[in-house]
Each structure stands twice: as structure tokens, then as C-alpha cells.
């Protein structure tokens, strides 16, 4: 497999934020967008874990892919130090990666998949074998996103407008995107004529990243403040809200970027349909419901500032959960690479996961 993962040429599919090049992991530093496009390279697992924690890379699928490549770097270093003890020693590195961000289940999923390869036994240098698996995870994600894009777009009537929250595109995945993959496919098929994007405080993923990504692709979009979404729906300007997910519980509850629950409530009230787009790697059957999903609490300083500029009085208290839980009852369709689950519930998700394609 080539060093750089790509997909077959397709319209609206040019952005890649995670790449393996020249035996190192290369990440587009998403903290700097849209003002600067700068790639950082990593050749240690410590650096990759820090990049995940500091949101150089973000979005559940992209975090998982970056972690898989981090395992490759860890194995390479451990094997060079001691070829006899690397299998035991690497557990410390896997734990470091696993703790980087607790909510996105793709992180633990990717590490567990790499651990199975290690546990199956590798003769000699583990780097080529583990690199092949990491690249397989990366390529499978891109293929899944294209499949979800097509399936999700088929649910949308021609001429529709949609609202998105956070960034769920190529920047958040191996490529193409989950919810923005549906937008890409819908625009290409003439089903989506306009996309509105919530700014997504406090990290402004919508304002900084979704706006940048859609403008790179020439997709018509309008940015709105998070609090404007309900009024936008009341005005009849959107027919669907389309979001991604960081974890889907066994009963269909969804953890996603803070503000998703508010958008889902407004959508239900105004008769706007609500779509969650997530690969099956994001579904966690070991988590019975949304109440069991750990919610990452981030620094108060992120809420106290707007970008780099402080906007609150010194000493003010702030509550800054990175995610919220949208109950399954508010979701009209869960779109996965295996198919669409309308009105998801425990039985439907169990059936989906029992029937791999």
C-alpha cells in the first residue's frame, strides 16, 4: 500500500488531514485553521498522544486513525530498544494513547484492533505488519465515509438545505467525512443546495474548520451562531440537521460535540429531521446508554475566551463539557456504512452489529 492513503477521484474530495509519509505521521494542525495550513510530523508515540490531547487532530475517526499510526511508532521504537521485550513494554504506550481523550470510542477501538495484531504474534520487526493494519484502518474509514455519504444523501429530497454542527468532514476522519460526507454526496447529486454551519463554541470547529473545508470544495454554505439554529428552523430554511458522533451507545443514544442535543430538540419541535452519520466503529455495545458515556471536561479558560482573547472577568467560573448526549428518541436516522437505521433503538442497533456486510 502506498505511503499516503487516498480514495478514487471524486468531486468534493480533496482534503486530507491525516497522512503517513516518509515513515512518520503527518497531521494538519487544526488549531491553526483557517489562518494557516501547517502540517506537523510525529515519529514518537508520546508526540501522537499529545497531538490527540491538544486537538492537533480531532474528530472520532481521525483520532482512531492517528492512534493506530501511533501504535506503529511505539512498536518501532520498542523493538529497536529490545526485540525480546517489546510486546510487554508497548502496553505502556497503548495506555498512554488510550487516555488521550476519553469520549471518542474510535480511539479505544483502533488501539484494541492493533493490540489484536500484536497478540496474534509477529515474527521479527513488527513495523511493517502494524503499518499495514493502520493503513487498512485508514482506507476502510475513507471507504465507509463514501458509503455513508451515498446512503445519507438518498434520504434527502432534491433541493434541500441542511444544518451541521461541529466539523464532521475530511478534517475529522481519514477523508471525505461522515456528516459532511453526506453533504458532499448530496451536493454532487443535486439534493443539497445549501449548507448552514453552526459556529460551535468554544473551539469554533464550525466557524474555523467546516467553513474552511466547504469553501475549499466550493460548496455553498452560510455560517450561523449556535443560538441562531432554532430560529433558522422556525423560518423553514432547513429540512435536515446532519451531525456526526463520537460514541453511539447500545440503545442509540449519541455523544457528540456540545450543542448537538440543543439542535436535536429544536429540530424535533420544528419538524426538521435529524440524522446522525457514524461508522459502526463508533457504536459501543458495551455502553448501555448515553448516561454511561464518559464526558470529557475541558478547561474553563476555553469558555472564558473567544479564540486567544479573554472576554470574561478574571475569576469567573465556567462549565465546559466537550460533548453532550442526544437521546435516541430524537434521532430520525442513524446512517452507517452497513446501512441506515431509522429511529434507532437497542434492538435495531443489535441487529445491525450482528449483520456485518
Residue with cell 483502533: 110
Catalytic residue numbers, as ranges: 246
φ/ψ bin of 166: left (φ > 0), alpha (ψ from -120 to 50), beta (otherwise):
left
Cα separation, 69 vs 44, in Å, equals: 10
Q: Collect all residues with Cβ–Cβ distance below 8 Å to 179 and sequence separation of at least 6.
A: 152, 164, 168, 169, 242, 243, 244, 275, 276, 277
The C-alpha R_g of the chain, in whole angstroms, comes to 20
Query: Positive or negative, the Cα torsion across 170, 243, 336, 50?
Result: positive
Q: How many CB atoms lie within 10 A of CB 127?
A: 17
Residue 8: all three cell numbers together:
478514487
Cα separation, 176 vs 159, in Å, equals: 22
Closest CA to 244 of 188, 217, 283: 283
Cα separation, 52 vs 262, in Å, equals: 26
Cα separation, 267 vs 240, in Å, equals: 8
> Would you say 347 and 313 are in contact if contact means Cβ atoms under 8 Å apart?
no
- Three-state SS at 130: helix
Q: Quickly list DSSP for 74-113.
A: HHHHHHHH-TTTHHHHHHHHHHHHHTS-SS-HHHHHHHHH
Amino acid at each position: 500500500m502506498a505511503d499516503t492513503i487516498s480514495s478514487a477521484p471524486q468531486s468534493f474530495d480533496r482534503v486530507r488531514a491525516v497522512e503517513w509519509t516518509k515513515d512518520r505521521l503527518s497531521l494538519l494542525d487544526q488549531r491553526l485553521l483557517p489562518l494557516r495550513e501547517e502540517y506537523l510530523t510525529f515519529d514518537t508515540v508520546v508526540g501522537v498522544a499529545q497531538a490527540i490531547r491538544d486537538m492537533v487532530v480531532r474528530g472520532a475517526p481521525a483520532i482512531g486513525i492517528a492512534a493506530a499510526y501511533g501504535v506503529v511508532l511505539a512498536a518501532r521504537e520498542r523493538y529497536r530498544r529490545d526485540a525480546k521485550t517489546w510486546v510487554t513494554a508497548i502496553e505502556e504506550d497503548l495506555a498512554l494513547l488510550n487516555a488521550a481523550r476519553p469520549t471518542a470510542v474510535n480511539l479505544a477501538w483502533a488501539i484494541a484492533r492493533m493490540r489484536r495484531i500484536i497478540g496474534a504474534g509477529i515474527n521479527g520487526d513488527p513495523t511493517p505488519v502494524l503499518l499495514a493494519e493502520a493503513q487498512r484502518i485508514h482506507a476502510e474509514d475513507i471507504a465507509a465515509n463514501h458509503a455513508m455519504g451515498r446512503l445519507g444523501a438518498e434520504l434527502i429530497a432534491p433541493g434541500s438545505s441542511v444544518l451541521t454542527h461541529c466539523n464532521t468532514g475530511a478534517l475529522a476522519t481519514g477523508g471525505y467525512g461522515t456528516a459532511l460526507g453526506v453533504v458532499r454526496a448530496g451536493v454532487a447529486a443535486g439534493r443539497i443546495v445549501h449548507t448552514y454551519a453552526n459556529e460551535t463554541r468554544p473551539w469554533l470547529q464550525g466557524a474555523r474548520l467546516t467553513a474552511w473545508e466547504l469553501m475549499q470544495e466550493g460548496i455553498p454554505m452560510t455560517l450561523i451562531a449556535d443560538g441562531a439554529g432554532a430560529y433558522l428552523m422556525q423560518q423553514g430554511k432547513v429540512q435536515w440537521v446532519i451531525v456526526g458522533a463520537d460514541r453511539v451507545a447500545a440503545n442509540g443514544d449519541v455523544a457528540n460535540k456540545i450543542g448537538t442535543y440543543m439542535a436535536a430538540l429544536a429540530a424535533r419541535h420544528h419538524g426538521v429531521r435529524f440524522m446522525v452519520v457514524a461508522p459502526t466503529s463508533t457504536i459501543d455495545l458495551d455502553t448501555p446508554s448515553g448516561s454511561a458515556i464518559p464526558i470529557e471536561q475541558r478547561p474553563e479558560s476555553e469558555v472564558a475566551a473567544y479564540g486567544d482573547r479573554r472576554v470574561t472577568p478574571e475569576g469567573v467560573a465556567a462549565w465546559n463539557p466537550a460533548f453532550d448526549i442526544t437521546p435516541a428518541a430524537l434521532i430520525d436516522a442513524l446512517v452507517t456504512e452497513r446501512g441506515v437505521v431509522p429511529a434507532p433503538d437497542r434492538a435495531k442497533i443489535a441487529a445491525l452489529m450482528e449483520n456485518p456486510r
